[in-house]
A = this chain, B = another copy of it.
């Protein structure tokens, strides 16, 4: 079996060279355990802060059970498992759960729109952003794993949704595939672009980006605006801590929330139902950024952590 190990503690944004793919023998199977072959591995930003020299990065995956010594789990079954960045591994049978997705959806949806990024977006949408019809919602990373779902949920709720993007390709994806009403480009000129795209101010903002984007949005909040702090990408990469201007919070009498998805697992069923229905009806698109082969996991992760991904980052392993 193959696995990825950290060979250099990354400084700032991780580079593909910070990792190595190595061959290791498979472990023996103890009573109660199952051997799973990873089919699709999920790469997630929160892994960045937990990278340890010599260790295999954490990751969950859609995997196929290839051998089982657990009576509740059958070989051939597709499950969700915490496998790490491996092609195959041994886990307790009690730690895996069956994959369920709506008819017609790929199993990988369980890692994206129906998985943790989707639940993050759903919880931010219903608990923090709460957009009313006609409201202006800004999504900090329009085409990312979380942002793509949040933007579509806000659009379905009747909001005018403006996405922050970093490239022309993402701008096109955001408006053509995800239904954003408008997009603005990160970097110089963002402030003016936000004024043009949000003439009535910004009623809700999902922060998934950098300090400059946060500052630009905060200055243009409308009164009573809601802000959900979700991904602090610069902080994950070890740069200066993100800071919020308190004066902007006061001027807008804004409500600012910190979003950590583990607080919102009570919404998991509602999320699966609602997003599953939207997916089945074609009202919500699962935007995936897929890479073929475990050896591309370091490249895919480096792209994710520098914001160059388009949609949920997945690695097809076998």
Contact = CB atoms under 8 A, between A and B. Distances in A.
Contacts of A251: 258
A229 interface: yes
A260 interface: yes
A214 B245 CA distance: 12
Given A255-B255, A255-B257, A257-B255, A246 B250 contact: no
A214 B34 CA distance: 50
Interface string A279-314: 000000000000000000000000000000000000
B247 A235 contact: yes
11 contacts: A223-B263, A229-B246, A241-B247, A242-B246, A242-B247, A244-B245, A244-B256, A246-B258, A250-B258, A253-B259, A254-B257
A239 B58 CA distance: 45
A130 to B, nearest CB: 13
Contacts of A263: 223, 253
Interface size class of A (residues with CB under 8 A): 20 to 34
A244 B257 CA distance: 12
A232 interface: yes
Nearest to A258: B250
Interface in A233-273: 235, 241-247, 249-260, 263
A297 to B, nearest CB: 26
A211 B242 CA distance: 15
A250 B241 contact: no
Interface of A: 207, 214, 223, 229, 232, 235, 241-247, 249-260, 263
B246 A245 contact: no
A201 to B, nearest CB: 14
A193 B247 CA distance: 27
Contacts of A255: 255-257
A127 to B, nearest CB: 10
Query: Which of A232, A255, A257, A258 gathers the greatest number of chain B CB atoms within 10 Å?
Result: A258
A265 B204 CA distance: 24
B249 A260 contact: no
A253 B259 CA distance: 6
Nearest to A235: B247
Contacts of A246: 207, 214, 229, 232, 235, 241-244, 258
A243 B259 CA distance: 19
